[in-house]
Every structure is written in C-alpha cells, then in structure tokens.
Amino acid sequence: MSIELAPHNKRGLSLTSPLIAGSGAAGFGADWPTGLGPEMFGAIVTAPVSLHARRGSPQPRLAELPGGYLLATGDHNPGYRRVIREHSQLWRSIAGRPTSRVGTGDGQPVPVVVALASSAPEDWARLAAFFEIEPGVAGLELSLPHETGIPAASAWIGAVRRATDLPVFVKLPTVQARLLAEPSAAAGADALVIGTPPLGACPAAGGGWVEAPVSGPIARPFTMQALRALAVRGCPVPLVAAGGIQCADDAQRCLDEGAVAIQVRSLLWVDPAAAARLAEAMRNPRVA
C-alpha cells in the first residue's frame, strides 16, 4: 500500500498505511504505550512545538464527559531548540530505519511530521525554516485556532509556505472547515486535517473548570459532518480525518466519505489494544 499525502509538493510524503499517530499521541516520538510503536503507523505527528518554552495551561486540565473528555494542555513544550537537540536523532532513526517489529510487514521508514504550536504567523515561519533543514522531518502540521477567519488563515499558511518546501498539513476546526478549506489550499496547504472539534466547558472532578475541544468518541460526529461536507463539494488537496475514531469501522467510514488517511491520538492511551487492532486492520484490510 502506498498513499501520497502531498501529491502537489515536490518532496511528497508517502505513507505505507493510512493510519497516522496524531499530534502528541507519542509525545515527540518516544512516548509509546506498551505494545505500540511508530512502525505500526503510516506516519507520526509530534506534540506541538513553539519558539520558546511553554508551561501550558494551569490545572485542572482534564474533565471527563459522557463519551469523551476535555483536555487543555496549552501546548506545553520545552521550545524548538531543546526539542531538536533531544529528538532529532530519534526522528532520523524513525524516518530512515528498516522497520521490522509487529505491524509492518514491509520494512518501510515512518515519516515524522512536526506540529507547530499556535502562534503568530512570523513565529510559524521561523519555526518552519528551522525544521526545513532537519533531515528527520518529513512535514509540518499547522493547527488553526477556532476563531480563525480567511485572511488570518491565508496569512499564517502563506508565511509557512514561503519559508519551507516541506509538505504542510493544515488542521482545520470542524465548524470552520467548509469556510477555510479552499483558502487554506490556495495559500499552500498540501493536505487538510479534518479537524479540531468544537470547544466545550466542563467542571473538573477536583474543582475548577476546563475549556478545550471535545475529545474521544464524542468528537466523531463533528469529524464526519465536516468531512462529508468537503467531500461533496470537492477539495483540491487530500483530506485526513481526525477526531473520535475508535475502530476499523470508524476508519473505513472516513475513507468511504473521502479521507485518504486517518489520525488517532487519545485512543493510543485510553485503549492501546484497540489502537493496535486498528493499526493491524489498516495495514491488512482483510483483518477489518
């Protein structure tokens, strides 16, 4: 199986499986639950990286919901210099090694996509230029904030596009997907990730409130609505479904509705065994 996620980019980005470990699912590429590893996925997306270190959101960060949860991390990370220093060798290893553990069957490298933390357009452009020269980095993922309009989206994406030839994947808020899809592609997005679910607010178990996008199975209807809307209209770049995908049936519905690949994140930690079954099903469709 070979899936081209950036068909209009001169570098391209080919996957051997449609299943991608989404942003932060394995931290910066080393934090895998027992029984899972990068070789089981078509690509991995790192946790978000910013120019300078971020402490992230204050506690509480987690609130449980029926069918999911809210998690407000605030994109905590040590800043790009430390991230590159501590993880670039691992990225080169993941991207270039022959993989032979459970779930591969093909010995192909696993592309590493670096997620850029929400910031100003000029910061994203600077980060893109730094990661441009990292040999272990196969692409960049930009997650647009919920309130982003067309002018801001075009400015953010265009600044990154001018700074790098790397494939650029833009994660859209599901409620803004129809508005932002075509402008994002026109500004230089090589693929669109659909997407970030709506914001919710819920009291945490220990007191205080958490405000963040909904996560877990509860996010899937938002993903499907946005994905189907874009597929019906037609989209000039590939679509990646993300949000609430729990099993092979969920993934296949996304593929049937126009996605070429699927991202999973929380499933890796909530139910690693289910994530392993999904990875096997995506590499061997007969298993599904």
As a whole number, the mean pLDDT across the chain is 92
pLDDT at 181 over 90: yes
Spatial separation of the C-alpha atoms in residues 241 and 261, rounded to whole Å:
6
Which H or E element spans position 100? Answer: none
Q: What's the confidence (pLDDT) of residue 187?
A: 98
Average pLDDT over residues 171-176: 97
pLDDT at 106 over 50: no
Q: Kindly state the percentage of the chain with pLDDT values over 70.
A: 94
Q: For residue range 7-29, what is the model confidence (pLDDT) as tens digits? A: 999 999 999 999 999 999 999 99
| Position 108 confidence tier, pLDDT thresholds 50, 70, 90 | confident
Average pLDDT over residues 96-120: 68
Q: What's the confidence (pLDDT) of residue 263?
A: 98
CATH architecture assigned to 3-287: Alpha-Beta Barrel (3.20)
* DSSP 3-state of 139: strand
Average pLDDT over residues 137-157: 95
Q: What's the confidence (pLDDT) of residue 284?
A: 79
Q: What's the confidence (pLDDT) of residue 101?
A: 42
Residue type at position 130? F
Spatial separation of the C-alpha atoms in residues 142 and 185, rounded to whole Å:
13
Average pLDDT over residues 104-128: 82
Domain assignments of the chain as residue spans, ordered by start: 3-287
Q: What's the confidence (pLDDT) of residue 112?
A: 98
Q: What's the confidence (pLDDT) of residue 103?
A: 38
| Position 1 confidence tier, pLDDT thresholds 50, 70, 90 | low
Q: For residue range 38-71, what is the model confidence (pLDDT) as tens digits? A: 999 999 999 999 999 999 899 999 999 999 999 9
- Least confident range from 78-87, 102-111, 122-131, 209-218: namely 102-111
Average pLDDT over residues 156-162: 95
Q: Using alpha carbons only, what angle is made at residue 162 by residues 178 and 138, rounded to the nearest 5 degrees?
A: 80
79-114 in b/e burial notation, b at 16+ Cβ within 10 A? ebeebbeebbeebbebbeeebeeebbeeebbbbbbb
